[in-house]
């Protein structure tokens, strides 16, 4: 059986990168896989969070999933902290994860910055919790953006380490699914940095809840260069901001980068940006409106999350029990 697990952190400001790199792909995949989509609130705690904002962001991510087209009847949608198997399995897996594996994780280095000694243990152990998220469901496939590739390789290594230690084929090695034309959407202000929820510059990203005016403004202000658009993708290699905008256009239009570029080759950025704004509003406007509608009445979202947690626990808790038995933990 093919089962998908994936998630988004409720850290505020869901953006176009989260949509194109992850959520939009899930909408397609839900028809071919058994799908579990999580709001990973325990991961959010690896950096300081305001409690009220964390609760609001958790509902906002759930609203984004549903507004984007994920069917809560067909798929399981829930928040991570509601199923204790994630945290419990994470401990058991951390006991067989060598420090050397975690020391290689680039996201920890980026997020901890220069003051590594002050970074929390949770931030360091984040990839083990992510492995537990996936393995608690024996998920076979994990659709993510490019930035999560390294963590997913670690999840495979940890699954393999468990299987070897206890000499059985218990956990499947989860396959990453990184696809689409926008696996790494970059900041609108800096083509060398990925678009991120935690970027302090509001103009760096398009949020899923931005209205049409704000989307237009952000795209008009997006960093570009003075040259018109070239006619080959190769010529975009040295122009990261232009390359990023062409990639976003292609992903939103559902076409290749080549096809997107062919429409605008030789034209200046003001014409291209106008078309990109119109397309962004066409795709995101509806989703943002639906998110606002869903969030106006939180009872509906909470009921979906509660039911989702029950369905998730019914899968994950028996897996955890088996792991406890295999590991030798007595359950009298």
Looking at the annotation, which residues are catalytic?
111, 194, 197
CB of 293 to ligand AQP, least distance (A): 23
Q: For ligand AQP, which is the closer residue by CB, 198 or 327?
A: 198
- Nearby residues of 303 by Cβ (< 8 Å), 6 or more positions away: none
Residue 196 binds to ligand AQP (criterion: CB under 6 A):
yes
- Token pair belonging to 23: 């959520």
Which of 4, 9, 81, 162 is close enough to bind ligand AQP by CB under 6 A?
A: 9
Q: How far is CA 141 from CA 156, 176, 186, 195, 287, in A?
A: 11, 6, 25, 24, 26
Contact 44, 38 (CB under 8 A): no
Strands 3-8 and 175-177, sheet pairing = unpaired
Per-residue interface string for the shown chain with ligand AQP, residues 15-44, x marking contact by CB under 6 A: --xx--xx----------------------
Contact 78, 161 (CB under 8 A): no
Q: Which residue is nearest to ligand AQP (CB)?
A: 21
Closest C-alpha to 242, from 222, 259, 213, 258: 222
Closest C-alpha to 42, from 12, 102, 83: 83
Which of 66, 83, 195, 236 is close enough to bind ligand AQP by CB under 6 A?
A: 195
Encode 8-23: b = buried (16+ Cβ within 10 Å), e = exposed.
bbbbbbbbbbbbbbbb
CB of 11 to ligand AQP, least distance (A): 4
CB of 228 to ligand AQP, least distance (A): 26
Site stretch for ligand AQP (CB under 6 A), options 82-90, 119-127, 177-185, 229-237 = 177-185
Residue 185 main-chain phi, psi, to 5 deg: -85, 130
Q: Which of residues 120-149 bind ligand AQP (CB under 6 A)?
A: 144-145, 147-148
CB of 207 to ligand AQP, least distance (A): 11
CB of 110 to ligand AQP, least distance (A): 9
- Token pair belonging to 248: 């976003």
Which of 75, 77, 134, 185 is close enough to bind ligand AQP by CB under 6 A?
A: 185
Q: For ligand AQP, which is the closer residue by CB, 43 or 273?
A: 43
Residues that bind ligand AQP (CB under 6 A): 8-9, 11, 17-18, 21-22, 144-145, 147-148, 183-185, 194-198
């Amino acid at each position: 059986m093919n089962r998908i697990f994936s998630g988004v952190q409720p850290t505020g400001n869901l953006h176009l990168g989260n949509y194109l790199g992850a959520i939009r792909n899930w909408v397609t995949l839900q028809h071919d896989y058994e799908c579990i989509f999580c709001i990973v609130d325990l991961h959010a705690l690896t950096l300081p969070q305001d409690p009220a904002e964390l609760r609001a962001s958790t509902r906002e991510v759930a609203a984004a999933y549903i507004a984007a087209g994920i069917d809560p009847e067909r798929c399981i949608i829930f928040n991570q902290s509601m199923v204790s198997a994630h945290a419990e399995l994470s401990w058991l897996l951390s006991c067989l994860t060598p420090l050397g594996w975690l020391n290689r994780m680039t996201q920890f280095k980026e997020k901890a910055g220069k003051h590594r000694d002050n970074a929390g243990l949770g931030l360091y152990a984040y990839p083990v919790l992510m492995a537990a998220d996936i393995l608690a469901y024996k998920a076979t496939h994990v659709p993510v953006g490019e930035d999560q590739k390294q963590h997913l390789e670690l999840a495979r290594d940890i699954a393999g380490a468990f299987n070897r230690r206890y000499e059985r084929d218990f956990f499947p090695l989860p396959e990453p699914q990184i696809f689409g034309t926008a696996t790494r959407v970059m900041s609108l202000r800096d083509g060398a940095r990925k678009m991120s929820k935690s970027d302090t510059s509001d103009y760096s990203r398009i949020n899923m809840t931005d209205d049409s005016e704000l989307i237009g403004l952000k795209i008009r202000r997006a960093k570009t260069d003075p040259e018109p658009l070239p006619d080959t993708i190769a010529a975009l290699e040295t122009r990261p901001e232009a390359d990023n905008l062409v990639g976003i256009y292609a992903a939103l239009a559902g076409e290749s980068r080549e096809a997107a570029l062919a429409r605008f080759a030789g034209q200046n950025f003001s014409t291209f940006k106008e078309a990109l704004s119109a397309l962004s509003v066409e795709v995101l406007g509806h989703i943002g409106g639906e998110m606002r509608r869903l969030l106006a009445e939180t009872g509906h979202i909470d009921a979906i999350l509660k039911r989702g947690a029950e369905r998730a626990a019914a899968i994950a808790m028996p897996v955890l029990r088996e792991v406890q038995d295999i590991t030798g933990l007595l359950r009298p």
